[in-house]
Amino acid sequence: MSDLRDTAYATAILHEVADLLAKLAADGSAGAIDLRAMPLGPADRARLKEVLAQGAVKVSVDAGGPSEIFETVYPGVWWTCHRNDAGETISEFIEVTDCPQFLKSQPDDIRAGASGLRRLLE
């Protein structure tokens, strides 16, 4: 267990996650926490990783650089980390939702794919 005096921000975030998850369970409304907007120290990060450990789902996406998304041991709580092509983290979120928006196929991409496939078959 980390020194609680060094993990004040992590504790606050975990309480916020719990509130968001209760709301998702109650009425289905999603929420998210921007981790890069928080002044997290190394101990805070370790504490968050310790509590929000990886659950059953882990996804890698290659779009504008790699992104790693996993559902935590708490269903509905997802950890999303976006990186650029150099592997540098450009944004990181804890999303509380049934499925992160980023994982869904985007309408413009679907339309472009449909046209491309049709052209290929003609």
Tell which one of 56, 86, 120, 121 touches another protein (CB under 8 A).
86
117 binds another protein (CB under 8 A): no
SS3 61: strand
CB of 46 to another protein, least distance (A): 13
The footprint of another protein on residues 56-85 (CB under 8 A) is 61, 63-65, 67, 82, 84-85
Q: CA–CA distance from 69 to each of 65, 66, 119 (Å)? A: 13, 10, 33
25 binds another protein (CB under 8 A): no
39 binds another protein (CB under 8 A): yes
Residue 113: Cβ-neighbour burial (10 angstroms; 0-12, 13-18, 19+): exposed
Residues linked to residue 85 through DSSP beta bridges, in sequence order: none
The C-alpha atoms of residue 65 and residue 85 are separated, in whole angstroms, by: 4
Residues in the site for another protein, rule: CB under 8 A? 5-6, 8-9, 30, 32-34, 36-41, 44, 61, 63-65, 67, 82, 84-86, 88-91, 93, 95, 101-102, 105-109, 112
